[in-house]
Structure 1
Amino acid sequence: MIRLHNRRGALIGLGLAAVLTLGACSGNDSPGTTGIGQTTTANAQETAASPAKVSVQPGDGAKDVAPGDAAQVTVTDGELQTVTLTNPDGKQVAGELSADKRSWTVTEDLGYGKTYTWSGTALGQDGKQATVAGSFSTVSPRKQLSASLNVGDDQTYGIAMPIAVTFSSKVTDKAAAERALSVETTPETEGSWAWVSDTSAHWRPKEYWQPNTQVKVSANIYGLRIGDGTYGKRDVSAAFSIGRSQIVRGDTTTHHMQVIRDGVQIADYPVSYGLDSDPGRVTHSGVHVVMSKHATYSMSNPRYGYTDVNVPWAVRISNNGEFIHGLASSVWAQGKQNVSHGCLNLSPSRAKEYYDGVLTGDPVEITGSTQTLSAKDGDYSDWTYSWADWTKLSALAS
């Protein structure tokens, strides 16, 4: 009996040893800790919540801010609760909060020469509020520059139509101005801006427009720095369409011109072109673009002894005096000789037929003459450049 009692005691001792051993192994699985309570405290310290960090742009105290610059509040380690930007009259400026509530951006134009004040709150990950605060002042420009377009809303143009943005004075920072210009097309169309002068930038597609293309051009220059203390006065934009394809092809040596519409020749007119033997009267070879049309037009050229000669159904194709128009007095030469002063003479009835179907922006391709159209011959000489040369005229060309 005594031996049995001692055996039971030995078993009890072994059980206690096993429990102690298991406890020691559990402690060794988590280095640097001595118990469950201590581990929980360490994890809490590692995941401590952060306060919200608010940033305003323009920053507090900023001066001479361009109204076109971005105005925004951002927050890290938190979310924006309320944001207000107030003008000097106490009116709130419109803005938009991002979906993740981490930024708020001004969505309306700021004014020139005004002070704006930020206010609002953000909630940090630590559950505490942070303040949105500060103020800034916009610039009072020494000079403002405006822009105008050669295209209009809801108008339809021909497949060679260039887009022209003309500025009210010389642009010294052409790169800044060009970044504010945009052309959106459906379908997508490859094209480029080019500075044809210090006051004018043109956009031209690489090839003729695809018929029925929808186009929107914008010059978002308001509030923009354009160099030498000059800022943009207002934005301008227009949405227009490209119509059917129509191309005139004329050869001065054959004394004819053909009208091709949507790939089909619809007319072949006898023409009298400019007198080839006189450099002052020759019709230039090259791609002309229809600039305007007039039911009647008064023509003058004192050098050649005529003023205020009214001609019917006049379609301007360059700024060097070239038109397609009717002229009854040269019908005898049309289709046979070139006797005009640079224009394409048709009979009045044929001129009317062409006039009725023409669009501003239609190309007129002339070949065969002794002189070639160049950039100096008018505002719509964009097609006188090769594509490689055209793209070099961009202020953003690399």
Structure 2
Amino acid sequence: MGTFLLAGALVLTGCTSKDSGTPLGVGDKPAGDTGPAPKAKIVADPGVDAKDVPVLKPIRISVTDGQLTDVSVTNADGKAVKGEVAADKLSWANSEHLGYGKTYTYSAKAMGSDNKPVELKGTFTTMNPAKQARATVNPIDNATVGVGMPISVKFQEGFAPKDKAAVEKALKVETTPKVEGSWAWLSASQVDWRPKEYWPANTKVNVSANLYGVDFGNGYGKSDVTSKFSIGRNQVLKVNTPDHKLLVYRNGSLAATYPSSNGSDADPDRNTPNGTMIVMTREEVGDFSNPKYGYTNVKKKWSLRISNHGEYIHENEENRANIGRNNTSHGCVNLLESDAKALFDTTLLGDPVEVTGAKASMPTTSDVNDWLFSWDKWKSMSALK
């Protein structure tokens, strides 16, 4: 009995008659042949000489009135396409995807119930789309992040999938323990997954963006992308701006209190805005130059960025007289250097920062605005209703 082979991300097409479009099986009796035809018939889908076969189309070779004895599907380099014959030996199916713009060759043999052998040979060619779009996933592999960190899938610059539902159907989030969450489109080229509530501490997360071969309506997926990461301890930073202090809660208990000077109360444009943000970057030295307000070459230590709207948490010894007493910053949370360093050393990307008490609210144009939406609003931003 022959060896059953399959290999290399590929897709097979069914054998079809060029005249009728009907699947052509080995064992059909040619016109004018008066001899008895073998009972067994092999049919391939996609068919012989098929063109522009989708790379995700399943390959299936099947036989009636007999059993398969050998199946081989190979790419242009002669490498086998991975696949498996069913236990009843009536069909074969591939177990890996096909490549774009490739030609595949298949050969199948079977023994009929009348003990007569039949064979089917042919080739087919896969599609080669002009537009193939890449995507990235964040957090990256092996990262440990805070309990507010969303999962973000972003497409390459200049590409916005037309069929957003097709994208979401190709995305999968697996967590241990199980966590309720949903995808939401934050822009034409970015879709995020956020839990309903903050992640449970120490959750393990496995993200699969199976986008290869997916039809986006204006292009096709270039490749699959995955990520496995972990959620760290539960730490939440809280700032009620009139109190002039930053509170650190760890595992639900108050772990530290640091005096602060927050955004100017009198000017909404200089408030530290209300809302739930997350720590987006950690910079030992941050550049806070702002010619609009007349200062340049301003560097501050132990800087935690919480938006692209301009807000950070950082040391500001030059504002020591107001820290813990008055809100005088241009929107940042100013700390004493020793406190800023202590906070920096205990902070993860993705730690939530909850701000209350200000006259202004954080605009939803921030880079990471996932927690600025209610849960009902968030779910409504999914393409899958």
TM surpasses 0.5 = yes
In structure 2, relative to structure 1, the CA distance for the partners of 1:59 and 1:393 (3 Å cut) is: farther
- Please list, as runs of the form range in 1=range in 2, the aligned pairs for 1:1-398 lying within 5 A after superposition: 54-75=42-63, 79-123=67-111, 129-168=117-156, 169-228=159-218, 230-376=219-365, 378-397=366-385
Question: For residues 264-305 of structure 1, what are the alpha-carbon distances to aligned partners after superposition, in whole Å with 9 as ceiling and x for unaligned?
Answer: 211011111111221221111111111110100111222111
Q: 1:135 to 1:274 in 2, by over 3 A?
A: same
CA-CA distance at 1:59 after TM superposition: 3.0
Q: Is the 8 A contact 1:69 1:223 kept in 2?
A: no
State the aligned residue count.
346
Instruction: Return the alpha-carbon distance in structure 1 between the equivalents of residues 203 and 89 of structure 2.
Output: 39
Query: 2 CA distance for matches of 1:271 and 1:237?
Result: 40
Whether the 8 Å CA contact 2:171–2:207 is kept in 1: the answer is yes
Q: Are the equivalent residues in 1 in contact too, given 2:289–2:299 (CA < 8 A)?
A: no
1:51 and 1:349, CA in 2 relative to 1: closer, same or farther beyond 3 A?
farther
* CA distance, structure 1, for counterparts of residue 88 and residue 204 of structure 2: 35
Query: Normalising to structure 1: TM-score of the pair?
Result: 0.82
How has the CA–CA distance of structure 1 residues 347 and 90 changed in structure 2, closer, same or farther, with 3 Å as cutoff? same
Query: Residues 73, 184 of structure 1: CA spacing in aligned structure 2 closer, same or farther, 3 A cutoff?
Result: farther
Q: 1:203 to 1:82 in 2, by over 3 A?
A: same
Residues of 1 paired with 2:67 and 2:211: CA distance? 33
Task: Find the counterpart in structure 1 of residue 27 from structure 2.
Answer: none
User: Take 1:198 and 1:160, find their aligned partners in 2: how far apart are those partners?
Assistant: 23
Q: Is the Cα–Cα contact under 8 Å of residues 69 and 224 in structure 1 kept in the other structure? A: no
Task: List structure 1 runs of 4+ shifted beyond 6 angstroms.
Answer: none
Distance 1:128 1:389, change over 3 A: farther
Q: Is the CA contact (8 Å cut-off) linking 1:57 and 1:71 kept in structure 2?
A: yes
1:111-161 per-residue CA deviation (whole Å, 9 max, x = no partner) reads 211121222134555655554544321112111110112211111011111
Distance of aligned partners of 1:81 and 1:191 in 2 relative to their CA distance in 1, 3 Å threshold: farther
Q: 1:53/1:390 Cα in 2 relative to 1: closer, same or farther (>3 Å)? A: farther
C-alpha spacing 1:293/1:137, structure 2 compared with 1 (3 Å): same
Distance in 2 (alpha carbons) for counterparts of 1:364 and 1:380: 12
Q: 5+ residue gaps in structure 1?
A: 1-49
Deviations 1:168-203 (A, max 9, x none): 112112122222211111111111111111111111
Q: Show CA shifts across 1:76-104 (max 9, x none).
A: 66543322112123322122334454443
Compute the displacement of 1:215 (Å): 0.6
Tell whether the 8 Å contact from 2:275 to 2:372 is kept in structure 1 after alignment.
yes
Percent identity between the two aligned chains: 49
Contact 2:138 2:227 in 1 (8 A): no
Decide whether the 8 Å contact of 1:315 with 1:355 is kept in 2: yes
Q: TM-score, normalised by structure 2?
A: 0.84
- Contact kept in structure 2, 1:66 and 1:225, CA below 8 Å: no
Residues 199/249 of structure 1: CA separation in 2 closer, same or farther (3 Å cut): same
RMSD over aligned CA atoms reads: 2.0
Shift of 1:381: 0.6
Q: Which amino acid aligns with 1:282?
A: N
Whose helix proportion is higher, 1 or 2?
Answer: 1
- Report the Cα offset of residue 108 of structure 1: 3.0
Q: Separation in 2 of the partners of 1:374 and 1:59?
A: 55
CA distance 1:139–1:256, change in 2 (3 Å): same
Deviations 1:50-97 (A, max 9, x none): 965644332333321222332333456654332211212332212233
* 1:298-332 C-alpha deviation (Å, 9 max, x unpaired): 11222111222100000111111111111101121
> Residue 73 and residue 209 in structure 1: after superposition, are their counterparts in 2 closer, same or farther (change >3 A)?
farther
Summarize the Cα distance change of 1:74–1:322 in structure 2 as closer, same or farther, 3 Å threshold.
Answer: farther
| Cα distance change of structure 1 residues 195 and 57 upon mapping to structure 2, 3 Å threshold | farther
Choose 60-69 or 73-82, whichever is displaced more: 73-82
1-side partners of 2:362 and 2:330: how far apart?
A: 15
Instruction: Tell me the CA shift for residue 339 of structure 1.
Output: 0.6
Q: Which amino acid aligns with 2:138?
A: N
Query: Which 5+ residue runs of structure 2 have no aligned equivalent?
Result: 1-37
